Amino acid sequence: MSVTYFIHTLYFTDTTQPRQRKTTMSASVAVVTGFLRLPSIQKSQSTSFLFSRPKRSLVRPISASRSELPENVRNFWKWLGAQGVVSGKSPAEPAVVQEGLGLVARRDIGRNEVVLEIPKRLWINPETVTASKIGPLCGALKPWVSVALFLIREKYAQDSSWRVYLDMLPQSTDSTVFWSEEELAELKGTQLLSTTLGVKEYVENEFLKLEQEILLPNKDLFSSRITLDDFIWAFGILKSRAFSRLRGQNLVLIPLADLINHNPAITTEDYAYEIKGAGLFSRDLLFSLKSPVYVEAGQQVYIQYDLNKSNAELALDYGFVESNPNRNSYTLTIEIPESDPFYGDKLDIAETNGMGETGYFDIVDDQTLPAGMLQYLRLVALGGSDAFLLESIFNNTIWGHLELPVSRSNEELICRVVRDACKSALSGFSTTTEEDEKLLEEGKLDNRLEIALKIRIGEKRVLQQIDQIFKDRELELDVLEYYQERRLKDLGLVGEQGDIIFWEAK
């Protein structure tokens, strides 16, 4: 029997088979097609700084000195005023803050109080693209690709009605999609590196298709040549600033609202923003942003971007990480190989129990193994004398049996394979956890290097944790109770000392 396991893009086999390397895009594509992005310095792209609640001295509200704001931001604020979106009574306004730009309270703001409301006519979404000059060309494009193309075209059009907003957008963020080769080298050994490279490859492939199908045949519609760098910029803007999970909106940029920053101290995502009607007799829609906590005048207004994102996802989407160990995770990917003689039976069992040919399990720092992981491992490793459990008579009960050890050989195999995989993954790092922690303690680091160090430390800790879990399990192999023993107990054929009872016919 050949049992193949892999961690992210690496495949691992048991000792009877040579180890293979295989590249996969599935995990990377899943990352980039979601676009559940919130605001400005968002998850992994809008922030050049690690997010923690800034001290009062780090926040400079506009009211203190409007001249401190860059001219493009002042022009943006005036434009919003001319659009009737903001006024002297607005609860919050843009300000220079630790993260770059943010929203600062002009007065005390209560919990769940509305901070701003932006009408639909100022949103940028697929509908905006459809109504534009390039709309007829974009009907068959992925929504995010069409919006990205719209942003680039408007960016280069000097007479764009979106000029003041586009002029305020950053040219890059600390998202790993913008890192140089030298900076990416600091992520050597991490899953974040392979995910980032996969995402960049995906974006490049989308651009090449766009170039052939839209850009080259319609040069007259674009004032200047659009490059891959332009497309990556637009992708980064959408990943870091676009809102989703909204009523009828899966991808939308909201000017001004996208300036709001993330704070890990805020532990709820609920009700921070919503789409609602503009009034009882109006069909217009408004994007409404609320403060999830009480904010004093002069302090920055924050929200929580996503409680479920790992540090790797935060770094990829927004360009920051948190110190919270619960953000450190490592994805263990387990596959039922097609070469397995019981492939069909195992796949049927997996699908019956809500899984498939491949299982993805996110192991989080200092937390127990995810539900179903041990069952899936035991299923993939089933073979030899344990294969009887794959017979149809066990179809309705096998998943329950797999909650507990099946046999010593099965349990020993999963321990050995997982530990070998962890050791192999750890060997891919060029530094130790201790070396990384020492560099981090020394401080005075570039933002991107600090992110890389924290990602390396976090992934190594989780790998070491996984290895320790299965090392401890190996030490218990002789005392664990396996399926046959449990079955004999159920039949009353095991004595108090664990000895098997036999009766001789008389």
Residues tagged active-site: 305
Non-local (6+) Cβ contacts of 198 within 8 A are 9, 25, 27, 28, 29, 31
Give the span between the Cα atoms of 50 and 446, in whole angstroms.
11
And the tokens for 57?
Answer: 């001295």
Give the span between the Cα atoms of 60 and 49, in whole angstroms.
16
And the tokens for 106?
Answer: 């002009």
Q: Which amino acid is at 82?
A: A
- Reported as half-sphere exposure (CB side, CA atoms, 13 A), residue 92 has a value of 32
Q: What is the DSSP letter of 182?
A: H
Q: Which amino acid is at 262?
A: H
And the tokens for 466?
Answer: 């996984």
And the tokens for 232?
Answer: 């990556």
Q: Which residues of 371-400 are buried (b: 16+ CB within 10 A; e: fewer)?
A: ebbbbbbbbbbbbeebeebbeeeeeeebbe
Q: Are 261 and 51 in contact (CB under 8 A)?
A: yes
Give the span between the Cα atoms of 185 and 182, in whole angstroms.
5
Give the span between the Cα atoms of 202 and 39, in whole angstroms.
23
Among 478, 329, 409, smallest CA distance to 3 is for: 409
Query: What is the signed CA dihedral for 102, 106, 110, 114, rounded to 10 degrees?
Result: -70
Backbone angles phi, psi at 61, to 5 degrees: -70, 150
Q: Which amino acid is at 89?
A: K
Using CA atoms, how far residue 443 sits from 263, 440, 446, 450, in Å, is: 22, 6, 9, 9
Measured in whole angstroms, how far is the alpha carbon of residue 158 from the centre of its chain? 35
